[in-house]
Amino acid sequence: MRQAKNGPTPGESALDRGAGCRQFGVQVLRGQAQVAFLSSVPAGLLFAVALFAAGWEYGLYAIAGTALGTATSRLLGADRERVSTGLEGFNACLTALCFAVFLGAGHLSTALLAAAGCVVVTVVTAAVVNLLGVWNLPSLTLPYCLLASAMTTAAPGFERIWHHGDGLAALTSAATGPTSLGFSDLWHGFFTGFAQIFFMPQWYVGALVLAALLVASRRAAAVAGVGSLVGILSAWALGAPAAQIADGTMGYNAILVMLALCGVFLEAGPRTLGYAVVGAFTATAATSAMAAVFAPSGGHMFTWPFVLTTFAFLAAARSFPELRTSAPSPAAPEPMSAGALSAQPPAPQAP
Amino acid sequence: MRQAKNGPTPGESALDRGAGCRQFGVQVLRGQAQVAFLSSVPAGLLFAVALFAAGWEYGLYAIAGTALGTATSRLLGADRERVSTGLEGFNACLTALCFAVFLGAGHLSTALLAAAGCVVVTVVTAAVVNLLGVWNLPSLTLPYCLLASAMTTAAPGFERIWHHGDGLAALTSAATGPTSLGFSDLWHGFFTGFAQIFFMPQWYVGALVLAALLVASRRAAAVAGVGSLVGILSAWALGAPAAQIADGTMGYNAILVMLALCGVFLEAGPRTLGYAVVGAFTATAATSAMAAVFAPSGGHMFTWPFVLTTFAFLAAARSFPELRTSAPSPAAPEPMSAGALSAQPPAPQAP
Amino acid sequence: MRQAKNGPTPGESALDRGAGCRQFGVQVLRGQAQVAFLSSVPAGLLFAVALFAAGWEYGLYAIAGTALGTATSRLLGADRERVSTGLEGFNACLTALCFAVFLGAGHLSTALLAAAGCVVVTVVTAAVVNLLGVWNLPSLTLPYCLLASAMTTAAPGFERIWHHGDGLAALTSAATGPTSLGFSDLWHGFFTGFAQIFFMPQWYVGALVLAALLVASRRAAAVAGVGSLVGILSAWALGAPAAQIADGTMGYNAILVMLALCGVFLEAGPRTLGYAVVGAFTATAATSAMAAVFAPSGGHMFTWPFVLTTFAFLAAARSFPELRTSAPSPAAPEPMSAGALSAQPPAPQAP
């Protein structure tokens, strides 16, 4: 039975091989879905559709990246339950996408480097899981943020992989431009926030992402919708330029924070909803800080505001008994209640 | 009896309500005093007087910030002893002050944002306490440093809160200007170092802060005075421009490090005094490093040199038995011996 | 017998004093050798010869720095086994060298500041060992990286210690210049990679460093040679300018990562060799990222790519049973198997 852990061995029958392939496919689609804390196969499929709608090369990079990350973690003998619920795939999915967007999807150098990135991010994921285990915190998209930040700051130093001329390092200056929101900005911003989770700027990609959430869990979709609105309202109230709100850059971190703090890592309820709204506001304000911090080295904020805000609010929640109506099991360092959101509940995670 | 934890409940008599208000007032004044590791009510009062002397709006921001932070932590059900000794108030005090100084105290947007900052810094404080608990390190002013750094780098990206035109992001250049210290620089620097703990540049504000220390504990005042001198001498020896020494920017981190390492977290004595002097020198040198690190993103060093130096010297102290004449109890992750410095000894902290 | 811990006491005979001096000399030479994970006296001697070959002042700074760091840790009562195996000396060695190179070895201010740096780095080493102990990770050269980064960013702010005119803060721009490697670039790069571990750019210094590795352990020398090649090949494949490869800046982190992941902290074998090659590639790519991150504040990458990559790959290794053919003892937070590489096996480390 041990062989089953790392996929079919040469001696197995064609039937077993077929089952192994199907199992791997399920793991890859769940890996896609875990970008939004889901381990639902239909949601993973819809996410893939959304990315193919944005551009076939992005769909391909995402699927291939998730597959490569999942395969690497199996090869290295990673925890079986983590692989099975897709937790070993989503950082590779985002890493591959980010390499495609930043370095140009059409270059052979980008494809090779993205493949290397997916292998390395699997190692970094294991490292982050072990390091954060001390605090019983989930790894979220931190592995991807580390890899993506390293890549964007490193790339201009290498001539074979950087095809955009000058580097991106620059000092930020104060925001300018109109801040009043029209209806078009508003609804564009609402949907593009969902698309920006995958780095895409099209509103219809965001609509498909929201549809995937709806398919997997109505509550998750509702919470995410509130997150998108909180992001837009916070950015408007603080005075972000309307163009930044319309293109979704002020919304995706708020969406992810809302999902994490109201339903995934803290039980959904009126108190955690309020707590998550404060978190989503904080992440939106932090967006501008992260942009300023990464700009001088040519980096990008990615999902750093979400990751850092969620770490703070999760670590803090332990001191606030008012939020702990039913605390998540301390043995689960990763989206435990993700199962609750998914159409196909995964096996419980090994401690 | 449980209700007492979160203040008076509707059913209580007017007498109880009065007691609750007085208790809250004591917590707020102790919160002010904890900026300098004291939990003394008279010291908190004198700190408030010092800030009102600098400008009534600063006094108001500080008091209101401390009150809001204390109230938020009570609302969220934070540890009762932490609230009672003022440990839930001082980061909010500094956060509100910092927002007032950097964004302009007179704007409505500043007041609203400072209020939001005081709520968020309470959450961040709980997070930092839980995260640093792994190493049994105190949270110091780290929560405030995180919030303040995020705010200063984020603010220029939002047009409704930033009223100063251009952003502050810039590369540092080598220091210039005379380095020889006159007597006027010297005594100004000695007092302004105390004022800069609260972000203020006036020597008489610093004199009032020193007076508050003296009222609470003669030893603490003496140690802090040595710290101010070490900061001035270190900066002069390294060749900092005299203007920077005179305005106190080279001294406040040294004062805080001396207090932390000689009397608050390590027992005062000849060995820890020497150790703290090395720490104060290190923090003074680190001041210039932090300024260079934060400049490109438009940030400010705040009390980062103090926080990082104190973490290093406290974590290291465990390996040096020569310093452990009488180690502080491992159950106290926050200024334990602060009680020794305070006029009104707080109840012992819950583990 | 307790006195022996901190060297000879006044009452001891001349014979004991001689033995104490010889013991201290051995500790200093082992401290030099620990820069490359060795605790071999002959290797330490050869490293010193290499540095004297680069310039007598560098040899002197390195020896004096190691001696001062070792003496400080003994004075503070640090763990005897750590002192004895040289683990308390190598960060001071690198710190002194780095101060000499960056601030100019000939200035009195540099010598005084380097001495202060060696004292402070000993404290920082103790702190880092205690903080990383939570994850059972070795401290590597992290203490030195912290001190060196603080110094390079701080120095231009102080007129008495900075003699180079303008500061170094600058934004990075995209790489330019030929990327095709000639034979001269190749063999220069191979050897200068070893020299750059000690900040030196001469190929013959690197050859002496490699010779020292060969004297202490043939396997370590072979692994390090592979590391230098992986660094060169990775940099060439990514498109680093040939000049950067020839001067060794793309190689030294790869060498150190290979040593750490294949023989020192993970048992050498075909699987860890492959794992270490991926690590060496990652560190080489990270070199460019670190350069971009530190440039705006005038910092330098030092051995940050090695430190961060090794932390990630070591922390991750625990999740990959395929790599744990024979895991190092969890009780040893520092180079355990360094003994295996050294001519004179040190006593086993205290837990």
State pLDDT tens for residues C284-312.
Answer: 999 999 999 999 999 999 999 999 999 99
- Between A269-273, A343-347, B258-262, B296-300, the lowest mean confidence (pLDDT) is in A343-347
- Closest by CA to B265, choosing from B204, B202, B214, B316, is B316
Residue A166 or C279, more confident: C279
pLDDT tier, B148 (very low <50, low <70, confident <90, very high otherwise): very high
Of A123, A150, A156, nearest to C175 by CB-CB distance is: A156
Interchain pair B166, A175: CB under 8 A: no
DSSP per residue over A147-203, as a string?
Answer: HHHHHHHHGGG-TTT--SSS----------S--PPPHHHHHHHHHHHHHHTTT---H
Confidence (pLDDT) at A346: 35
- What pLDDT, in 10s, does the model give residues B113-136? 999 999 999 999 999 999 999 999
Inform me whether the C-beta atom of residue B169 falls under 8 Å from chain A C-beta atoms: yes
- What pLDDT, in 10s, does the model give residues A313-330? 999 999 988 786 544 443
pLDDT at residue C326 greater than cutoff 50:
no
Q: How much of chain B, in percent, has pLDDT values that exceed 90? A: 79
Confidence (pLDDT) at C11: 53
Inform me whether the C-beta atom of residue B157 falls under 8 Å from chain A C-beta atoms: yes
C209-228 average pLDDT score: 96
Taking CA–CA distances from A127, the nearest residue in chain C reads: C316
C222-239 average pLDDT score: 97
Mean residue pLDDT across chain C = 88
pLDDT tier, A347 (very low <50, low <70, confident <90, very high otherwise): very low
Query: How far lies A104's CA from each of A161, A291, C207, in Å?
Result: 9, 22, 41
B17/B92 Cα distance (integer angstroms): 24
Numbers of helices and strands, H then E, in chain B: 15, 0
pLDDT tier, B15 (very low <50, low <70, confident <90, very high otherwise): confident
pLDDT tier, A12 (very low <50, low <70, confident <90, very high otherwise): low
Taking CA–CA distances from A285, the nearest residue in chain B reads: B154
End-to-end CA distance of chain A: 21
Residues of A in contact with C316 (CB under 8 A): 123-127, 130
Confidence (pLDDT) at C77: 86
Amino acid identity of residue B166, one-letter, is D
Confidence (pLDDT) at A192: 97
Phi and psi torsions of A106, nearest 5°: -80, -10
C-alpha triplet B110, B111, B117: angle, nearest 5°? 85
Residue B6 or A68, more confident: A68
CB atoms within 10 A of CB A22: 10
pLDDT at residue C90 greater than cutoff 70:
yes
Taking CA–CA distances from A235, the nearest residue in chain B reads: B158
B18-36 average pLDDT score: 93
Instruction: Give A41's Cβ-side CA count (13 Å radius).
Output: 10
pLDDT tier, C324 (very low <50, low <70, confident <90, very high otherwise): low
Confidence (pLDDT) at B134: 96
- Closest by CA to A33, choosing from A6, A66, A80, is A66
Of A113, A160, A170, nearest to C171 by CB-CB distance is: A170
- Interface probe for C, chosen from A108, A158, A159, A349 (most Cβ of C below 10 Å), is A158
Of A134, A156, A297, nearest to C174 by CB-CB distance is: A156
- Closest by CA to C338, choosing from C326, C327, C351, C349, is C349
Residues of C in contact with B285 (CB under 8 A): 150-151, 154, 158
Of A128, A129, A297, nearest to C292 by CB-CB distance is: A297
Of C238, C313, C321, nearest to A123 by CB-CB distance is: C313
pLDDT at residue C349 greater than cutoff 60:
no
- What pLDDT, in 10s, does the model give residues B73-126? 999 888 889 999 999 999 999 999 999 999 999 999 999 999 999 999 999 999
pLDDT at residue A179 greater than cutoff 60:
yes
pLDDT at residue B231 greater than cutoff 80:
yes
Confidence (pLDDT) at C193: 96
Confidence (pLDDT) at B341: 35
CB contacts under 8 A, C 173-202 vs B, are none
Confidence (pLDDT) at B12: 56
Residues of A in contact with C171 (CB under 8 A): 167, 169-171, 296
Which residue blocks in A266-334 are alpha helix, DSSP H? Answer: 270-294, 304-317
B234-260 average pLDDT score: 96
pLDDT tier, A11 (very low <50, low <70, confident <90, very high otherwise): low
Paired tokens of C204: 């013959």
Phi and psi torsions of B113, nearest 5°: -70, -35
Inform me whether the C-beta atom of residue B331 falls under 8 Å from chain A C-beta atoms: no
Interchain pair C158, B278: CB under 8 A: no
C80/C77 Cα distance (integer angstroms): 8
pLDDT at residue A219 greater than cutoff 70:
yes
Our measurement of the distance from residue A293's CA atom to the centroid of its chain's CA atoms, rounded to an integer in Å, reads 21
Inform me whether the C-beta atom of residue B168 falls under 8 Å from chain A C-beta atoms: no
DSSP per residue over C257-319, as a string?
Answer: HHHIIIIISS--SHHHHHHHHHHHHHHHHHHHHHHHHHGGGT---TTHHHHHHHHHHHHHHTT
A264-272 average pLDDT score: 93
CA distance B162 to chain A (A): 8
pLDDT at residue C241 greater than cutoff 80:
yes
C161-186 average pLDDT score: 90
Confidence (pLDDT) at C31: 94
C255-264 average pLDDT score: 96
- What pLDDT, in 10s, does the model give residues C101-152? 999 999 999 999 999 999 999 999 999 999 999 999 999 999 999 999 999 9
Q: How much of chain C, in percent, has pLDDT values that exceed 70? A: 88
- What pLDDT, in 10s, does the model give residues B322-347? 786 544 444 333 443 333 333 333 33
DSSP per residue over B130-174, as a string?
Answer: HHHGGGT---TTHHHHHHHHHHHHHGGG-TTT--SSS--------
Confidence (pLDDT) at C116: 97
Please say whether the beta carbons of B137 and B332 come within 8 A: no
- What pLDDT, in 10s, does the model give residues C9-33? 555 577 788 888 999 999 999 999 9
Confidence (pLDDT) at A331: 36
Interchain pair B319, C126: CB under 8 A: yes
- What pLDDT, in 10s, does the model give residues C56-80? 999 999 999 999 999 999 998 888 8
Confidence (pLDDT) at C55: 95
Of A292, A311, A314, nearest to B153 by CB-CB distance is: A292
C249-257 average pLDDT score: 96
Mean residue pLDDT across chain B = 88
Confidence (pLDDT) at C210: 97
Confidence (pLDDT) at B287: 95
C173-200 average pLDDT score: 93
CA distance C134 to chain B (A): 8
Confidence (pLDDT) at B37: 94
Taking CA–CA distances from A109, the nearest residue in chain C reads: C238
Inform me whether the C-beta atom of residue A129 falls under 8 Å from chain C C-beta atoms: yes
Inform me whether the C-beta atom of residue C282 falls under 8 Å from chain A C-beta atoms: yes
Interchain pair A316, B123: CB under 8 A: yes
Amino acid identity of residue A187, one-letter, is W
Confidence (pLDDT) at C159: 94
Residues of C in contact with A151 (CB under 8 A): 285, 289
Interchain pair C296, A298: CB under 8 A: no
pLDDT at residue C319 greater than cutoff 70:
yes
Q: Tokens 């095809």 label which residue? A: A163
A5-32 average pLDDT score: 77
A219-233 average pLDDT score: 97
Which chains touch C (3+ CB pairs under 8 A)? A, B
Of C77, C134, C166, nearest to B322 by CB-CB distance is: C77
pLDDT at residue A25 greater than cutoff 70:
yes
Which residue blocks in chain C are alpha helix, DSSP H? Answer: 14-33, 41-54, 56-75, 80-84, 90-103, 108-132, 142-154, 183-196, 203-216, 218-238, 242-246, 252-259, 270-294, 304-317, 338-341
Residues of B in contact with C162 (CB under 8 A): 174-175, 239
CA distance B143 to chain A (A): 10
Amino acid identity of residue C334, one-letter, is E
Of B116, B128, B167, nearest to A174 by CB-CB distance is: B167
- Between A45-59, A207-221, B280-294, C318-332, the lowest mean confidence (pLDDT) is in C318-332
CA distance B299 to chain C (A): 12
CB atoms within 10 A of CB B134: 12
pLDDT at residue B42 greater than cutoff 70:
yes
